[in-house]
Amino acid sequence: MLTSRTFLKRTRAGAVRKIVREHYLRDDIGCGLGGCALCGGESRPALEARPGGAASSLCPGPHFLLPDTNLLLHQIDILEDPVITNVIILQTVLQEVRNRSAPVYKRIKDVINKQEKHFYSFTNEHHKDTYIEQEKGENSNDRNDRAIRVAVKWYSEHLQKLQMEEKVQIILLTNDRKNKEKAVEEGITAYTCEEYIKSLIANPELVDRLASLNDEGNEIETGRIIFAEHLPLSKLQQGIKSNLYLQGTFRANRENYLEATVWIHGDGEEKEIIIQGLRNLNRAVHEDIVAVELLPKAAWAAPSSVVLHDDENQNEDDVEQEEEKEKSLRTSSSNSMLRPTGRVVGIIKRNWRPFCGMLSKSQIKEARRHLFTPADRRIPRIRIETRQASTLEGQRIIVAIDGWPRNSRYPNGHFVKNLGAAGDKETETEVLLLEHDVPHQPFSQSVLSFLPKMPWSITDQDMKCREDLRHLCVCSVDPPGCTDIDDALHCRVLENGNLEVGVHIADVSHFIRPGNALDQESAKRGTTVYLCEKRIDMVPELLSSNLCSLRSNVDRLAFSCIWEMNHSAEILKTRFTKSVINSKASLTYAEAQMKIDSPSMNDDITTSLRGLNKLARILKKCRIDNGALTLSSPEVRFHMDSETHDPIDLQTKELKETNSMVEEFMLLANISVAQKIYDEFSEHALLRKHPAPPPSNYDILVKAAKSKGLEIKTDSAKALADSLDSAEFPSFPYLNTLLRILATRCMMQAVYFCSGMDNDFHHYGLASPIYTHFTSPIRRYADIIVHRLLAVAIGADCTYPDLTDKHKLADLCRNLNYRHKMAQYAQRASVAFHTQLFFKSKGVVNEEAYILFVRKNAIVVLIPKYGLEGTVFFEEKDKPKPTLLYNDEVPSLTVESTTFYTFDRVTVNIMLDASNVQHQKIRMALVEPKLVGTSVPSQATQLNSNNEPKKKKLKE
């Protein structure tokens, strides 16, 4: 059956065009009920013939639920709960949800695909009995509500015709008062979500998961207005167009909850606007897209260097106290320090997500309202209603924000899920993965279905387009315990006296074909995430640790980059080929170093390693002479207890010459491949660049070096590299490392980009005009794309549309940059958590440290022994405040009569501060030099020869 709609449309040229839209209606769309005798369609039965589910006091008999659009959008947490089953989702509702919220649409599609939930998607817009036309004068919202009611009535009549033993009801769930009233008039059973959930006899805990939608009902009793009203979207768009307002991304300050910055979106250079004070922040939440009004220049402020955390003991609606704190932000600043300052006038797009954290239980007995404190300090506390407060205390939970009324100090939200006890290793790992948006769910069956069937072996077909390099003396060099081996190397002398060097990379793109579910999942994950005790793979383990991993003594598919070089490491020829290799050894860096250094070892592998090492030294010298930077960043390694898996030792990673050897050839391969794919695909090459930092980034480094009588030049990477090389103090050898650590902090983030969308390709840190990532396809999706581009360039594989679409490549790069950044943050959070575990068992220790940064009320120090950074505060609660004098120019901080400069050596006392379960932290206090009232006595903790605190009692 065909229905059509005709309308007239005026073209840009002014002509009138007649448009006919055809809409097909069918009579073979099934109801989704198992064993339905009336439905002739081949629908997959999803609904149970006799619906079970939770017992309800409102509808005691068997029933199906049918939610409307707004209910699905706002109560998705309820619908996802295992208790809620046998739900009919209409096409009308799905289409509206898809247009309004992509995340909710994905979540409901996932629920529909879970067979045990018995959710059925009914195509009512193409069913001949449920499709309706929009009536004259009826808006689309009212038409959709009517379509939902028509579908409910059709289902009710359809079930009656089946003459089932027990009557089965259809319940419309809607929070729309008008829709509910009309439904009841039409004889439809309809309830609000709250009415239905509260009627579930055996599941009172579900009430906690209800989203609180009526702001008026959840406002604090005082009714006092705290915040200005947000302007409607139409006014905001008008204001942005006329430059009255600016649009940007709201970034809350982790260290100061009364300050934020808004990064303004624009064609030109990104600019930053400071927002200070509760009322000016006006209910914006971290990562929201907001509209900002600039304040007059007289009201501009300087970024505050005060650390302010939202005090959990504070009266939650004490706005006067907030105003007192705001005054502390306004310090007298020179005009050069002032920055454009503004206030939030409206929200363009909320970017709320479910937040992990802990419940701060109300002191009022039997109270249902409590405050939730998120783990991320950039997120405000959230008011929720729950009856489970006693159970949830001390647990890590997930909470979602529902709204933020004008007269409430905090937003309203609802409880979503209990993750487990705070401090538990599994729970804390889950929290840091969720908080950093790391996809970590097990690979789905649809993804796993694209893996090769085992047992797998290389076929004759595979060999046709590959070079057989199994005769070469190839070996891999990796960290200890590495199972995802991406790369292997070889070096041999050719007959003409030159050297042949090969970098062989796992051929992951052979197994992951474009566009399938495995490819899509790998692209979404973007990178493997390495935590202290766990690895979140980008690709399934069968590939990462087996078929793609270049393990020793097994045949593996590879993509090889082979150079002919002279003994001065000058490249004479470069070629790329798909290959088959058989690695002769999987070595650790230490094992490879031992082979190179041992005079008694002269086997083929050792000879190859020595040749590689000799060339690597020359390559490194050339790079550094060209201006490549050698920076420093303290990396730590934990030694775990084999039974408890708790950290028992913490050391900075020791880098050997073999680390540098492997790095040099990986860099060379990446540069060679970058040039090749750019030559072939000038518009579609996926490259990586490292922008030069703006001069102001170097201020802190230049000033710190100057305080020690050293000059650091920052005109170019070469000038910086030379300055760092010459910045030596014989009496203070660690100073050079500190300068390099500080220089690392001045750098910009390296990013992926598409060559057709940018014209600045330079990699500042490597001093290379072009660069990409080719050498780690098991753990980086960017490398898989580069492999595909290179394969097409050498005629080893065919292209596909998305590979040569620069806009799609640019979108992919955006996701990869985001995933890499989040993976980095997750790894740091994992190190921080394991460091806390280490010091929890270690007790209190005193260690030598160096000052990295000087703040207004604190110093930030680095402890070389542990690669650990921490803050020593000079102001403490309930203690007399010392006299502090901060000098930004030097920079220095004078506490009473003692002055601290960057790079000064101090002794600090390290301990775990567990007073705040949610935000446990390593606390540092000054031991040397001694300060009256702020230093900790060095004898407070006596250390034995093993650097362990002495026990008060001997073990019995």
Q: What confidence tens digit (pLDDT) does each residue in 804-826 have?
A: 999 999 999 999 999 999 999 99
Instruction: Report in angstroms the alpha-carbon separations of 465 from 376, 461, 574, 784.
Output: 52, 8, 19, 19
Q: Pick the most confident of 30-34, 296-300, 618-622, 873-877.
A: 618-622
- Among candidate residues 167, 183, 214, the one with its CA nearest the CA of residue 67: 183
pLDDT digits (tens, 9 = 90+) for 260-291: 999 987 655 568 899 988 899 999 999 999 99
**Residues 884 and 900 sit within 8 Å (Cβ to Cβ):** no
Output the pLDDT for position 457.
92
Output the pLDDT for position 425.
87
Output the pLDDT for position 220.
42
On the question of pLDDT at 943 being above 50, the answer is no
Pairing of strands 921-928, 647-652: unpaired
On the question of pLDDT at 507 being above 50, the answer is yes
**Residues 59 and 171 sit within 8 Å (Cβ to Cβ):** yes
**Residues 899 and 860 sit within 8 Å (Cβ to Cβ):** no
**pLDDT grade for 181, boundaries at 50, 70 and 90:** very high
pTM value is 0.81
What span, in angstroms and rounded, lies between the C-alpha atoms of 324 and 321?
Answer: 5
* DSSP assignment letter at 259: E
Output the pLDDT for position 559.
97
Which pair of structure tokens corresponds to residue 454? Answer: 């085992």
What span, in angstroms and rounded, lies between the C-alpha atoms of 747 and 693?
Answer: 6
What span, in angstroms and rounded, lies between the C-alpha atoms of 806 and 802?
Answer: 8
Instruction: Report in angstroms the alpha-carbon separations of 64 from 28, 161, 168, 215, 803.
Output: 21, 16, 8, 30, 46
Output the pLDDT for position 947.
37
What span, in angstroms and rounded, lies between the C-alpha atoms of 398 and 418?
Answer: 6
Tell how far CA 746 is from the center of its chain: 22
Which pair of structure tokens corresponds to residue 622? Answer: 């050339």
**pLDDT grade for 327, boundaries at 50, 70 and 90:** low
Across the range 2-16, mean pLDDT stands at 69
Percent of the chain with pLDDT over 90: 46
On the question of pLDDT at 585 being above 90, the answer is yes
Name the 3-class secondary structure at 654.
Answer: coil
**Residues 765 and 475 sit within 8 Å (Cβ to Cβ):** no
- pLDDT greater at residue 432 or residue 314: 432
Sort 650 into a burial class: Cβ within 10 Å, 0-12 / 13-18 / 19+. Answer: buried
What span, in angstroms and rounded, lies between the C-alpha atoms of 418 and 673?
Answer: 48
Question: Which ranges of 101-136 would DSSP assign to H, the alpha helix?
Answer: 102-112
What span, in angstroms and rounded, lies between the C-alpha atoms of 169 and 252?
Answer: 49
Task: Point out which residues pair with 749 in neighbouring strands.
Answer: none
On the question of pLDDT at 803 being above 90, the answer is yes
Instruction: Report in angstroms the alpha-carbon separations of 820 from 691, 742, 750.
Output: 17, 22, 10
Output the pLDDT for position 579.
96
**Residues 251 and 263 sit within 8 Å (Cβ to Cβ):** yes
On the question of pLDDT at 688 being above 90, the answer is yes
| Residues with Cβ within 8 Å of residue 46, at least 6 apart in sequence | 32, 112, 115, 118, 119, 120
**pLDDT grade for 617, boundaries at 50, 70 and 90:** very high
Instruction: Report in angstroms the alpha-carbon separations of 643 from 58, 554, 647.
Output: 53, 32, 11
What span, in angstroms and rounded, lies between the C-alpha atoms of 816 and 525?
Answer: 8
On the question of pLDDT at 831 being above 90, the answer is no
Cβ neighbours of 927 (radius 10 Å): 24
**Residues 741 and 630 sit within 8 Å (Cβ to Cβ):** no
**pLDDT grade for 880, boundaries at 50, 70 and 90:** confident
pLDDT digits (tens, 9 = 90+) for 205-243: 888 888 876 544 344 444 578 899 999 999 999 999 998
Average pLDDT, the chain: 85
**Residues 438 and 826 sit within 8 Å (Cβ to Cβ):** yes
* Least trusted range by pLDDT, from 203-212, 358-367, 940-949: 940-949
Consecutive H or E run containing 883: none
On the question of pLDDT at 41 being above 50, the answer is no
- Among candidate residues 14, 388, 386, the one with its CA nearest the CA of residue 212: 386
Label residue 48 left, alpha or beta by phi (over 0 means left) and psi (-120 to 50 means alpha): beta
Output the pLDDT for position 25.
84
* Least trusted range by pLDDT, from 151-165, 451-465, 510-524, 937-951: 937-951
Output the pLDDT for position 201.
86
Percent of the chain with pLDDT over 70: 87
Instruction: Report in angstroms the alpha-carbon separations of 588 from 357, 595, 858, 865.
Output: 40, 11, 42, 23
pLDDT digits (tens, 9 = 90+) for 397-413: 999 999 899 888 899 99
